[in-house]
Amino acid sequence: MRVFKFGGASIQSIERIKTTGAILKNNTQEKMLLVVSAMGKTTNALEKVAESFFNGNQNEALLLFNRVKQQHLDTLKYITVLNWQEAENRMKDFFTEVEWLLHDKPLKEYDFYYDQIVCCGELLSTWIMYQYCVEEKLNACWVDVRDIIRTDDNFRDAAIDWAYTKQKVETEIKNLFNKYDIVITQGFIGATDENESTTLGREGSDFTAAIFANLLEASSLTIWKDVDSVMNADPRQFKNAIGIPSLSYSEVIEMAYYGAQVIHPKTIKPLQNKNIPLYVKSFLNPQLPGTIISSTLSKKLPPVIVKKKTRC
């Protein structure tokens, strides 16, 4: 069993969804848990909805949310043929969850509303990805991760209840693998014991994927990105940046500590604890080897350059 994680860029358009689908089709040797983030810049758009709502601009919030809705409805319509009506009806339930809240007045703290609104991005993207798999006859199922990942109520940076989550993975996710080849679920979000939605911090989907890899004792985790591999510097700033074929867990933690934006810093520990290799690969060029992150110290690590922004 392995875990694949796809970020927002890999599903931001119909073409990209198809590219991602092709990767799934080419990787059927093992059962797979698939973690997906929100499409493109959806999380940023939903943050704006939360801000408008909290600032009392209800109409603006509804208008901004409408744009998110429309974009997802259009994508769903494009990729579904057989199952479209049913798929759209379910998608509308996700919208209703948010709209019901937007019609209220904010009485609680901002972070609470942020999580109830922003979590919708991952529910929508995974629903679309799942429908795509169904159309393509992949043997997949869709799971609301809020039924599995239990957190505390520290909204926007919630901490995982590992014991509860482990038990849910044992009793629910493992069972699904008896029936399905691919289990599709959301990155970045979870829920409290009172069924309130929570988020794990921006870019937290990598962490979700690592939690599942750990609890399922996966053979590997692959994070599919829009870069060919982990680089020794930001290629937008340094033309001569080169790819790094292999890194150790501790080297990645160190790079993240010094500010290199490699992967979400919380991702490494759950993998390191179970010695699960992490592959960073390009969804645009899946034939490239990418980077492997494991317990092995890399022999010829190039100098790693991190440019820090200074404030004047």
Query: Nearer to ligand ASP by C-beta: 43 or 246?
Result: 43
- The contact mask relative to ligand ASP for 112-131 (x = CB under 6 A, - = no) is ---------x----------
CB of 240 vs ligand ASP, minimal distance in Å: 29
Residue 38 binding target from ligand ASP, Mg ion, none, CB below 5 to 8 Å by type: ligand ASP
37 binding Mg ion? (CB under 5 A):
yes
Residue 121 binding target from ligand ASP, Mg ion, none, CB below 5 to 8 Å by type: ligand ASP
- The contact mask relative to ligand ASP for 166-205 (x = CB under 6 A, - = no) is ---------------------xx-------------xxxx
Which residues are within 8 A (CB) of 5 and not within 5 positions of it... i.e. 6 or more apart? Answer: 34, 35, 36, 37, 187, 205, 206, 208, 209, 221, 222, 223, 224
For the purposes of burial, counting CB atoms within 10 Å of the CB of 34, is it exposed (0-12), middle (13-18) or buried (19 or more)?
buried
Residue 204 binding target from Mg ion, ligand ASP, none, CB below 5 to 8 Å by type: ligand ASP
For the purposes of burial, counting CB atoms within 10 Å of the CB of 300, is it exposed (0-12), middle (13-18) or buried (19 or more)?
exposed
37 binding ligand ASP? (CB under 6 A):
yes
Query: Nearer to Mg ion by C-beta: 7 or 290?
Result: 7
Amino acid symbol at 304:
V
7 binding ligand ASP? (CB under 6 A):
yes
38 binding ligand ASP? (CB under 6 A):
yes
Which residues are within 8 A (CB) of 74 and not within 5 positions of it... i.e. 6 or more apart? Answer: none
- Which residues does residue 18 pair with via DSSP β-bridges, in sequence order? none
277 binding ligand ASP? (CB under 6 A):
no
Q: DSSP string spanning 241-293?
A: --B-SEEEHHHHHHHHHTT--SS-GGGHHHHHHHT--EEEEESSSTTS--EEE
The site for ligand ASP (CB under 6 A) is made up of: 7-8, 37-38, 43, 121, 187-188, 202-205
The site for Mg ion (CB under 5 A) is made up of: 7-8, 37
